[in-house]
């Protein structure tokens, strides 16, 4: 019982000190999709990494295997970000 009376105030003081310390975290920039193009279906031999490389080769910012609706296959979709 004695430990609880000592530890609870110390714990609360520690939370107070951490919450009052200056934070150096910056919010990252939110990027919107400017253009999207979905091409070929993804398969075990044409996976996410290969899709991404093909999208970058075509001049897009990034790409990956995406699904649009349940029970449909994955498609390689390329994105241009603003």
**CB-count burial class (<10 Å; 0-12, 13-18, 19+) for 80:** middle
Conformation bin of residue 37: beta by default, left when phi > 0, alpha when psi is -120 to 50: beta
Residue 28 has what pLDDT? 55
pLDDT of 6 over the 80 cut = no
Residue 25 has what pLDDT? 53
Classified as helix, coil or strand, 79 is: strand
24, 25, 65: which is closest to 47 by C-alpha? 65
Domain ranges of the chain: 39-81
Q: Provide the CATH topology of domain 39-81.
A: Defensin A-like (3.30.30)
pLDDT tens track for 25-81 = 555 556 677 788 888 899 999 999 999 999 999 999 999 999 878 888 899 999 988
To the question of pTM greater than 0.85 for the whole model, the response is no
């Amino acid at each position: 019982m004695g430990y609880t009376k000592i530890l609870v105030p110390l714990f609360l003081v520690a939370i107070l000190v951490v919450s009052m310390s200056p934070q150096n975290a910056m919010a990252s920039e939110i990027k919107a999709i400017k253009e999207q193009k979905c091409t070929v279906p993804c398969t075990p031999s044409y996976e996410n990494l290969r899709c991404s490389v093909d999208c970058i080769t075509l001049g897009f910012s990034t790409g990956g295997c995406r699904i649009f609706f349940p029970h449909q296959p994955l498609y390689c979709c390329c994105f241009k970000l603003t």
